[in-house]
Copies of this chain bind each other. A is one copy, B any other.
Amino acid sequence: MKDVVIDILKHNQLSITDNRLGILELFQKSSKALSHADIERLSEKHFDRVTIYRTLQTFVDKGIIHTIPTADNSIMYALCKEACSEGHHHDDHVHFLCGQCGTTYCLDNISIPEVNVPKDFIVHQTNVLVNGVCKNCR
Contact = CB atoms under 8 A, between A and B. Distances in A.
B123 A115 contact: no
A123 B117 contact: no
B129 A127 contact: yes
A67 interface: yes
Interface string A94-138: 101001000000010010011111101111111111111111001
A73 interface: yes
A106 to B, nearest CB: 12
A117 B126 contact: no
Contacts of A75: 73
Q: How many copies are assembled?
A: 2
A122 B101 CA distance: 13
A55 interface: no
A124 B130 CA distance: 8
B124 A131 contact: yes
A1 interface: no
Contact of A120 (B115, B127, B129, B138): B138
Contacts of A135: 118, 120-121
Given A107-B118, A113-B113, A121-B134, 10 more contacts: A73-B73, A113-B115, A115-B128, A120-B138, A122-B133, A125-B130, A126-B129, A127-B127, A127-B129, A129-B129
